[in-house]
Amino acid sequence: MAAGKGTRMKSNRPKVLHRLAGRALVDHVTDSAQVLGARRIVLVTGHGAQQVEDAVAQRARALGHAAPVFVRQEPQLGTGHAVQQAVPQLPDDGIALILNGDVPLIAPATLQALVQACGGVRLALLSVRMPDPTGYGRIVRDGGRVVAIVEHKDASDAQRRIDEVYTGFMAVPNALLKRWLARLDNRNAQGEYYLTDVVGHAVADGAEVVAVDCPDRVQVDGVNSPLQLAELERAFQRRNARALLEAGVRLADPERLDVRGALRCGQDVEIDVGCVFEGEVVLGDGVRVGPYCVVRNARIAAGAVLHAYTVIEGDAAGVEVGEGALVGPFARLRPGAKLGAEVHIGNFVEVKNSTLARGAKANHLAYLGDAEVGERVNYGAGSITANYDGANKHRTVIEADVHVGSNCVLVAPVRIGAGGTVGGGSTITKDTAPGALSVARGKQVSIAGWTRPRKAGKG
As measured in angstroms, the least distance from the Cβ of 135 to ligand UD1 is: 6
279 contact choice in ligand UD1, Ca ion, none (CB below 5 to 8 Å, kind-dependent): none
**Number of neighbouring beta carbons within 10 Å of residue 52:** 25
Min. distance of Cβ 236 from ligand UD1 in angstroms?
18
| Interacting positions 219-248 with Ca ion (CB under 5 A) | 222
Q: Which CB, 222 or 284, lies closer to Ca ion? A: 222
DSSP sequence for 396-410? EEE-TT-EE-TT-EE
Told to check if 18 binds ligand UD1 by CB under 6 A, we report no
Residues 6+ apart with CB under 8 A from 132: none
Sequential DSSP letters for 218-234: HHH----SHHHHHHHHH
- CB 119 to Ca ion: min, Å: 27
Nearer to ligand UD1, 4 or 324 (CB): 4
Least gap, CB of 95 to ligand UD1 (angstroms): 19
Q: Which does 81 bind (CB under 5 to 8 A by kind): Ca ion, ligand UD1, none?
A: ligand UD1
Q: Is 14 in the site for ligand UD1 (CB under 6 A)?
A: no
Q: What is the radius of gyration, based on Cα positions, of the chain?
A: 31
C-alpha–C-alpha distance, residues 424 and 404, integer Å: 7
Asked if residue 334 binds ligand UD1 (CB under 6 A), the reply is no
Please report the DSSP string for 30-87 in residue order. HHHHHHTT-S--EEEEBTBHHHHHHHHHHHHHHHT-PPPEEEE-SS---HHHHHHHHG
- Cβ partners under 8 Å of residue 110, min gap 6: 126, 169, 214, 216, 219
Asked if residue 328 binds ligand UD1 (CB under 6 A), the reply is: no
CB of 221 or CB of 350, closer to Ca ion:
221
Using the rule CB under 6 A, is 396 a contact of ligand UD1?
no
The contact mask relative to ligand UD1 for 170-209 (x = CB under 6 A, - = no) is ------------------------xxx-------------
Residues with a catalytic annotation lie at 364
Listed in sequence order, the DSSP H helices in 133-173 are: 157-160
Minimum distance from CB of 260 to ligand UD1 (Å)?
23
38 binds ligand UD1 (CB under 6 A): no
In the complex, the smallest distance separating the C-beta of residue 181 from ligand UD1, rounded to whole angstroms, is 12
**406, 422 contact by CB (below 8 A):** no
Considering the rule CB under 6 A, would residue 223 count as an interface residue with ligand UD1?
Answer: no
Q: Does 221 bind ligand UD1 (CB under 6 A)?
A: no
Which of the ranges 100-108, 253-261, 292-300, 364-372 carries the binding residues for ligand UD1, by CB under 6 A? Answer: 100-108
137 part of the interface to ligand UD1, by CB under 6 A? yes
Q: In whole angstroms, how far apart are CA 254 and each of 102, 121, 264, 415?
A: 26, 44, 16, 47
Q: Using the 8-state DSSP alphabet, how is residue 17 labeled?
A: G
Does position 84 bind ligand UD1 by CB under 6 A?
no
Nearer CB in complex with ligand UD1: 170/263: 170
Closest CA to 352 of 381, 389, 322, 395: 395
Shortest distance, position 152 Cβ to ligand UD1, whole Å: 8
d(C-alpha 248, C-alpha 171), whole Å: 38
Q: Does 169 bind ligand UD1 (CB under 6 A)?
A: no
How many residues in the shown chain lie near ligand UD1 by CB under 6 A? 28
Per-residue exposure over 299-338, b if at least 16 CB sit within 10 Å of its own CB, e if not: bbbbbbbbbbbbbbbbeeebbbbbbbbbbbbebbbbbbbb
User: Under 8 Å CB-to-CB from 399, ≥6 apart: which residues?
Assistant: 374, 377, 415, 416, 417, 418, 419, 420, 434
Using CB under 6 A, which of 167, 240, 354, 385 touches ligand UD1? 167
If one asks whether residue 301 binds ligand UD1 (CB under 6 A), the answer comes out as no
Q: Which DSSP helix (H) or strand (E) runs through 367?
A: strand 361-369
Q: By C-alpha distance, which of 255, 256, 288 is closest to 274?
A: 256
Coil/strand/helix, residue 368: strand
Interaction partner, residue 77 (ligand UD1, Ca ion, none; CB < 5-8 Å by kind) = ligand UD1
Closest CB 78 distance from ligand UD1, rounded Å: 5
Q: Which residue lies nearer to ligand UD1 by CB, 165 or 337?
A: 165
Question: What torsion do the CA atoms of 153, 158, 164, 168 make, to the nearest 10 degrees?
Answer: -20
- For residues 5 and 161, which CB has a smaller minimum distance to Ca ion in the complex? 5
Footprint on this chain of Ca ion (rule: CB under 5 A)? 222
Give contact residues for ligand UD1 (rule: CB under 6 A): 1-4, 44, 46, 73, 76-79, 81-82, 100-102, 136-137, 149, 151, 165-168, 194-196, 222
